């Protein structure tokens, strides 16, 4: 069974093709600058690579190009569309309408469209990719996997903001959470690593975008991102938590419009805004090592915010089995992991400095063997999670059809 996973961004399409009998990746690729004459197309299948700059007018043309590339090379990853059991799509926002992945039909498309107002930078692109795939792949089942679905188990006390309740009723203002597919993958993998069916874990997805999830027995009970991905942790260019009055203060005393302030908070804050160096932690760490005080401050602010939430989630869980780091920073920055976990021995988490510094490929612990709460690095694999959901839903539909027949 082969499953294609498609992730459409505002001007890009990422994709991966899996053989689900072994969960082996057969091909991977990226199309950037969709809508321009100089779109970049990158494709890899085994040892065969293809890179070209060419016009890609829209998502339909982009998906069609993917189909063509999957059929090329000495050993095509996809010789015939009939080999494809299903296509899985990342969809950022499902609001309260979707608490799990679904097979796409007209009703699902309409609901995703209604959610565009909650994710105007993401859902329209996700929807365009879905429509293109439906047209190109014909009867092949399409599956939507929502970033927000994992957090539909949050209790009202966790997702309700202390604002007039009618804002929730009329405008759907609540905490939704994001990165749910990543948090679900690493929390499930943590259960396997810990050999415990339903552990209590805290997962930290740290990259250019950052979020944490508090997971009790496999179900999310709290998270750091909110109505939008701007809330919570310090990120590459996003501010994370701030006093809302800062916005009104800036509107009153500066010449910035609300839209300009929004842009500053989303695209010029976080690590980049504090350090003045870069949104990439590697660059910030290098600058800090060379004596840049603002770079040092940016690292400390990032770690401080993560430690605050880690402490809060430990209290919320009451009994925690493991803390899991994932994402580009979580997997690759021993400096940041060390700052976040330093001095937590009284809480039952003892950092093993050597393990943390040496790191490694794949999964590894960064706490001592006698640490009551283990801390692990587990690389995320959102695309594989999407492929698994697609495989399961396609199998369910097939079984239901046989039973009905």
Could you write out the DSSP letters of every residue in 378-397?
A: ----HHHHHHHHHHHHHHHH
Q: How confident is the model at residue 157 (pLDDT cuts 50, 70, 90)?
A: very high
At how many degrees (to 10) do helices 106-114 and 123-137 cross? Answer: 160
Question: Could you tell me if 384 and 18 are in contact, meaning their C-beta atoms sit under 8 angstroms apart?
Answer: yes
**pLDDT, average across residues 300-326:** 98
Question: Could you tell me if 330 and 377 are in contact, meaning their C-beta atoms sit under 8 angstroms apart?
Answer: yes
102 and 228 inside one domain: no
69 and 218 inside one domain: no
Query: Would you give the end-to-end CA distance of the chain in angstroms?
Result: 22
Q: What is the pLDDT of residue 405?
A: 59
* Average pLDDT of the residues of the chain: 96
On whether residue 404 sits in a domain, the answer given is no
125 and 253 inside one domain: no
208 and 346 inside one domain: yes
On whether residue 405 sits in a domain, the answer given is no
On whether residue 183 sits in a domain, the answer given is no
On whether residue 179 sits in a domain, the answer given is no
On whether residue 266 sits in a domain, the answer given is yes
136 and 246 inside one domain: no
**DSSP per position, 245-299:** HHHHHHHHHSS--HHHHHHHHHHS-HHHHHHSS-SSHHHHHHHHHTT-HHHHHHH
pTM for the model stands at 0.95
375 and 268 inside one domain: yes
Q: How confident is the model at residue 398 (pLDDT cuts 50, 70, 90)?
A: confident
Question: Could you tell me if 270 and 235 are in contact, meaning their C-beta atoms sit under 8 angstroms apart?
Answer: yes
Domain that holds residue 348: 195-382
**pLDDT, average across residues 20-34:** 96
Distance CA 262, CA 269 (A): 10
DSSP letter at 172? -
Q: How confident is the model at residue 402 (pLDDT cuts 50, 70, 90)?
A: confident
User: Is residue 74 scored above 90 in pLDDT?
Assistant: no
Distance CA 199, CA 192 (A): 10
229 and 359 inside one domain: yes
On whether residue 187 sits in a domain, the answer given is no
Q: What are phi and psi of 381, to 5 degrees?
A: -150, 75
Q: What is the pLDDT of residue 359?
A: 84
**pLDDT, average across residues 42-48:** 94
Regarding beta strands 102-103 and 84-91, do their DSSP bridges make them parallel or antiparallel, or are they unpaired? Answer: unpaired
Q: Of the residues 146, 181, 213, which one is the last residue of a structural domain?
A: 146
User: Is residue 164 scored above 70 in pLDDT?
Assistant: yes
Q: What is the pLDDT of residue 121?
A: 85
Q: What is the pLDDT of residue 38?
A: 95
Regarding beta strands 219-223 and 2-8, do their DSSP bridges make them parallel or antiparallel, or are they unpaired? Answer: unpaired
User: Is residue 142 scored above 90 in pLDDT?
Assistant: yes
More confident call, 130 vs 74: 130
**pLDDT, average across residues 38-66:** 96
Distance CA 89, CA 110 (A): 16
Q: What is the pLDDT of residue 75?
A: 84
Report the percent of the chain where pLDDT is more than 90.
94
207 and 348 inside one domain: yes
Tell me the catalytic residues.
147
**pLDDT, average across residues 183-212:** 97
Distance CA 121, CA 107 (A): 22
User: Is residue 37 scored above 70 in pLDDT?
Assistant: yes
**pLDDT, average across residues 191-196:** 96
3-state helix, strand, coil in the chain (%, to 5): 45, 20, 35
On whether residue 223 sits in a domain, the answer given is yes
Q: What is the pLDDT of residue 185?
A: 98
Q: How confident is the model at residue 360 (pLDDT cuts 50, 70, 90)?
A: confident
**DSSP per position, 104-130:** --HHHHHHHHHGGGTSTTTHHHHHHHH
Q: How confident is the model at residue 176 (pLDDT cuts 50, 70, 90)?
A: very high
Q: What is the pLDDT of residue 399?
A: 78
230 and 141 inside one domain: no
User: Is residue 106 scored above 90 in pLDDT?
Assistant: yes
Q: Of the residues 146, 171, 203, which one is the last residue of a structural domain?
A: 146
112-130 tens-digit pLDDT: 999 999 999 899 999 999 9
Domain at 129, CATH number: 3.30.420.40
271-292 tens-digit pLDDT: 999 999 999 999 999 999 999 9
232 and 130 inside one domain: no
364 and 237 inside one domain: yes
Give the number of domains in the chain.
2
On whether residue 159 sits in a domain, the answer given is no
At which residue do the structure tokens 């991977």 appear? Answer: 28
29 and 86 inside one domain: yes
240-267 tens-digit pLDDT: 999 999 999 999 999 999 999 999 999 9
């Amino acid at each position: 069974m082969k499953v294609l996973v498609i992730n459409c961004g505002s001007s890009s399409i990422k994709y991966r093709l899996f053989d689900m009998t072994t969960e082996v990746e057969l091909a991977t690729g990226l199309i950037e600058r969709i809508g321009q004459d100089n779109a970049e197309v990158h494709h890899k299948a085994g040892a065969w690579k293809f890179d070209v700059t060419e016009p890609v007018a829209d998502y339909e043309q982009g998906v069609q190009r993917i189909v063509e590339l999957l059929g090329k090379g000495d050993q095509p990853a996809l010789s015939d569309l009939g080999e494809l059991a299903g296509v899985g799509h990342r969809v950022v926002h499902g609001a309260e309408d979707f608490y799990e992945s679904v097979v796409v039909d007209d009703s699902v498309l309409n609901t995703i469209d209604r959610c565009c107002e909650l994710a105007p930078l993401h859902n329209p692109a996700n929807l365009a990719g879905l429509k293109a795939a439906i047209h190109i792949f014909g009867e092949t089942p399409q599956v939507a996997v929502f970033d927000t679905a994992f957090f539909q188990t949050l209790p009202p006390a966790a997702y309700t903001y202390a604002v007039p309740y009618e804002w929730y009723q009329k405008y759907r203002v609540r905490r939704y959470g994001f990165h749910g597919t990543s948090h679900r993958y690493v929390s499930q993998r943590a259960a396997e690593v810990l050999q415990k069916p339903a552990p209590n874990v805290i997962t930290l997805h740290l990259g250019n975008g950052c979020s944490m999830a508090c997971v009790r027995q496999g179900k999310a009970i709290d998270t750091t991102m909110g109505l939008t991905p701007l809330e919570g942790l310090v990120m590459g260019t996003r501010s994370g938590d701030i006093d809302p009055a800062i916005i009104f203060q800036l509107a009153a005393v500066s010449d910035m419009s609300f839209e300009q302030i929004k842009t500053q908070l989303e695209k010029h804050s976080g690590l980049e805004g504090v350090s003045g160096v870069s949104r990439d932690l590697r660059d910030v760490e290098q600058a800090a090592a060379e004596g840049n005080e603002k770079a040092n401050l940016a690292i400390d602010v990032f770690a401080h915010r993560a430690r605050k939430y880690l402490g809060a989630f430990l209290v919320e869980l009451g009994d925690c089995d493991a803390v899991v780091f994932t994402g580009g920073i979580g997997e690759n920055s021993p400096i940041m992991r060390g700052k976040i976990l330093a001095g937590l021995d009284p809480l039952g988490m003892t950092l093993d400095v050597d393990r943390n510094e040496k790191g490694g490929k794949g999964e590894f612990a960064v706490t001592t063997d006698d640490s009551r709460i283990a801390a692990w690095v587990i690389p995320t694999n959102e695309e594989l999670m999407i492929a698994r959901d697609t495989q399961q839903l396609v199998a369910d539909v097939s079984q239901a059809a046989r039973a009905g027949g």
